[in-house]
Amino acid sequence: MNKVCIIGGCGHVGIPLGLAFASKGKDVTLVDVNPRAVEAISAGRLPFKEEGADALLKAHVGKNLHATSDVSVVKKQDVVVFVTGTPVDEHLNPKIHDVVKVLDAYLPLLNKRQLVILRSTIFPGVTRIVEERLKAKLGAANLAFCPERIVQGKGIEEIFNLPQLVSGVNKKAENAAAALFASIAPKIIRIKPEEAELAKLMTNAWRYLEFAIANQFYMMVEKQGLDFYRILEAMKDDYPRAKHFARAGLAAGPCLFKDTMQLSAFHSNEFFLGHSAMLVNEGLPNFLVSQLEAKMGSLKGKTIGIMGLAFKADNDDIRESLSFKVKKLLEMKMAEVLVTDEFVSGTMPLKKFMKEADGVILGVPHSAYRKLKVKKPFVDCWGCWR
Ligand SMILES: NC(=O)c1ccc[n+]([C@@H]2O[C@H](COP(=O)([O-])OP(=O)(O)OC[C@H]3O[C@@H](n4cnc5c(N)ncnc54)[C@H](O)[C@@H]3O)[C@@H](O)[C@H]2O)c1
């Protein structure tokens, strides 16, 4: 199993995975429909920030790692990994058709000797649907589901250190996937496809709920004019059971929210905790704007700056960032809105931003922002500028 191709290979999950396999001597091809990402990788450039990936890319690109939009390469592979996006639709239902459509497009290029691995975060039952489609077309399914669990931006470090959940639709596929991932992961945990699908969704939903608890408490406390972080620090001080209590913050990005909603759809939309978490996390932007209003009075005609547009600190990914919701809310208040983010092109330089803004909302605490002395009225739910 030396030749591995990754469909969706130039995305946030595909690149760390491809680099990890390449670093262990596999012959890796990243197949992607995004020509700009393919071009960047081929030229030895990352299309987005990914810690530690630069050196690996330079070491392997053009040697045992290639990127291409030419899907015909799939025919020559031993392993075909699918890691394209799995969003929810406008009614928050999983778009299962998207996964199936991608698979169908590649079916004519697959053969039954190849190991097919699903790595996207999928709705429970999708592995079995894909199994049926492979059997119908190829007469057999050599299929595994091995979910990705890295945290975005730190994939290279994590991929070599996290245990890998491995499941297969039969023992042959499970063993083949376990052997492949044993080359990069320190530990293989074997479970059934249905269990692996749920394990991944439950992990993300649990994380989303953790943030919701912190955000709910933040709003509860701050509304009374008290300081959430003074209480949080007191709670956590030498008290082991509160050690992992999350800080408040805009809980956004392409995974946690949509995977909580996938899990809810799986449970007939009766995942009440998940929906409550959504109300809390999605409601935080409104609370932040009201906090600023409490400090500044009406925001109409005032210039308000949002510092940080990415969905998480020290990252350049703006997908599903709640800073954009803050921006819309401020515009509804008829404020003039400025945005700055050192990692997002087209935003205002920090110095000019600080000079022009009458008030500031911290959208995301990039390292460079944490030590700033902000002398204007501000709202910082992350607890950096206290
Ligand atoms: N981003 C993360 O940190 C993370 C972590 C764990 C799991 N996941 C899951 O992994 C999956 C992918 O997420 P992502 O963040 O890497 O998405 P992404 O959008 O960064 O990457 C997906 C890539 O697939 C490509 N693509 C789309 N259709 C294609 C096709 N037909 N053929 C070839 N390429 C195609 C896109 O151009 C894109 O480069 C999702 O299910 C997500 O939930 C993501």
The mean pLDDT value for 342-351 works out to 96
The mean pLDDT value for 107-119 works out to 97
Task: Say whether pLDDT at 344 is over 80.
Answer: yes
pLDDT band at 176 (very low <50, low <70, confident <90, very high): very high
Distances (CA, A) of 125 to 8, 96, 128, 195, 198: 21, 10, 5, 10, 10
DSSP state for residue 254 in the 8-state scheme: S
Residue nearest to atom 31 of ligand 1 (CA): 102
Residue nearest to atom 44 of ligand 1 (CA): 13
pLDDT band at 28 (very low <50, low <70, confident <90, very high): very high
Long-range contacts of 23-27 (CB under 8 A, 24+ apart): 23/56, 23/59, 23/60, 23/184, 24/183, 24/184, 25/64, 26/1, 26/2, 26/64, 26/183, 27/2, 27/3, 27/64
From the candidate CATH numbers 3.20.20.70, 3.40.50.720, 3.40.50.300, 3.30.200.20, the one assigned to the domain spanning 204-379: 3.40.50.720
* Domain residue ranges in the chain: 3-194, 204-379
Per-residue model confidence (pLDDT) at position 272:
98
Residue nearest to atom 38 of ligand 1 (CA): 11
Task: Say whether pLDDT at 117 is over 90.
Answer: yes
Q: What is the signed CA dihedral for 128, 69, 254, 290, rounded to 10 degrees? A: -150
Ligand 1 neighbours, Cβ below 6 Å, are 7-8, 10-14, 31-34, 37, 83-86, 102, 105, 120-121, 148, 150, 152, 254-255
- Give the mutation target among 30, 86, 123, 148 for probing the ligand 1 site: most ligand atoms within 8 A of CB: 148
Predicted confidence (pLDDT) per residue in 316-331, tens digit: 999 999 999 999 999 9
Task: Say whether pLDDT at 202 is over 80.
Answer: yes
The string of DSSP letters for 170-212 reads: SHHHHHHHHHHHHTT-S-EEE--HHHHHHHHHHHHHHHHHHHH
Predicted confidence (pLDDT) per residue in 56-84, tens digit: 999 999 999 999 999 999 999 999 999 99
Percent of the chain exceeding pLDDT 90 equals 98
Distance between CA atoms of 93 and 263, rounded to whole angstroms? 10
Per-residue model confidence (pLDDT) at position 386:
83
Q: What is the pTM of this model?
A: 0.96
Task: Say whether pLDDT at 209 is over 80.
Answer: yes
Output the CA 120–ligand 1 centroid distance in Å: 7
- The single residue listed with the structure tokens 């995004």 is 34
pLDDT band at 120 (very low <50, low <70, confident <90, very high): very high
Residue 7 alpha carbon, nearest atom of ligand 1: 33
Per-residue model confidence (pLDDT) at position 18:
98
Predicted confidence (pLDDT) per residue in 297-322, tens digit: 999 999 999 999 999 999 999 999 99
- Give the mutation target among 19, 38, 48, 83 for probing the ligand 1 site: most ligand atoms within 8 A of CB: 83
Q: Answer whether 13's CB lies under 8 Å from 83's CB.
A: yes
Residue nearest to atom 37 of ligand 1 (CA): 34
Output the CA 83–ligand 1 centroid distance in Å: 5
Query: Mean pLDDT across the chain, nearest whole number?
Result: 97
pLDDT band at 241 (very low <50, low <70, confident <90, very high): very high
Per-residue model confidence (pLDDT) at position 59:
98
CA angle 56, 59, 62 (to 5 degrees): 115
Output the CA 15–ligand 1 centroid distance in Å: 10
CA angle 250, 251, 256 (to 5 degrees): 165
- Give the mutation target among 71, 117, 255 for probing the ligand 1 site: most ligand atoms within 8 A of CB: 255
Task: Say whether pLDDT at 1 is over 80.
Answer: no
Topology given in CATH for the domain delimited by 3-194? Rossmann fold (3.40.50)
Per-residue model confidence (pLDDT) at position 110:
98
Domains 3-194 and 204-379 share a fold: yes
Q: Look at residues 208, 185, 220 and name the one whose alpha carbon lies nearest to residue 260.
A: 208
Distance between CA atoms of 160 and 181, rounded to whole angstroms? 10
Output the CA 13–ligand 1 centroid distance in Å: 6
Per-residue model confidence (pLDDT) at position 340:
98
Distances (CA, A) of 80 to 4, 91, 194, 328: 6, 31, 20, 42
Output the CA 2–ligand 1 centroid distance in Å: 23
Per-residue model confidence (pLDDT) at position 3:
98
